[in-house]
Amino acid sequence: RARLASEQADRVAMLNAERRRELAPVSLLELVLARVCRQITGILETLPIQLRRQSTALTTEDLALIEREIVKVRNLAASVELKLTEDEDGSFGDPQSDPLRAEAA
């Protein structure tokens, strides 16, 4: 009975958190992230063209470097996977397999 009561209390707490917008379904988060990533990619891909038009100081090599870095970022973003395992420090995922967290560590 105590276990059932605890589970019911957890369910009600989660529903309340959703109503307060403290929690969101993973599928909704994935959709929002995908939309934002598409917008960011569009902006990043036009950046070399805009720089070429607005700057006479940048060389072809400079622009090629910028394009290569944009490709790296785009590939990194495309390889991101949602990891739903919580680490001891309260963060999610494995810093060894996460290039962004590995650089910060």
Is 45 within 8 Å of 70 (Cβ atoms)? yes
Q: How many CA atoms lie within 13 A of 51 on its CB side?
A: 17
Kindly state the average pLDDT of the residues 53-74.
92
Q: Which residue has the higher pLDDT, 41 or 101?
A: 41
Residue 104 has pLDDT above 70, yes or no: no
Burial 53-75 (b: 16+ CB within 10 A, else e): eeeeeeeeeebeebbeebeeeee
- pTM comes to 0.56
Give the contacts of 17 (CB within 8 A, at least 6 positions apart). Answer: 23
Nearest-CA neighbor of 62 among 47, 74, 72? 47
Side chain identity at residue 79, one-letter code: S
Give the pLDDT confidence score for residue 88 in this predicted structure: 61
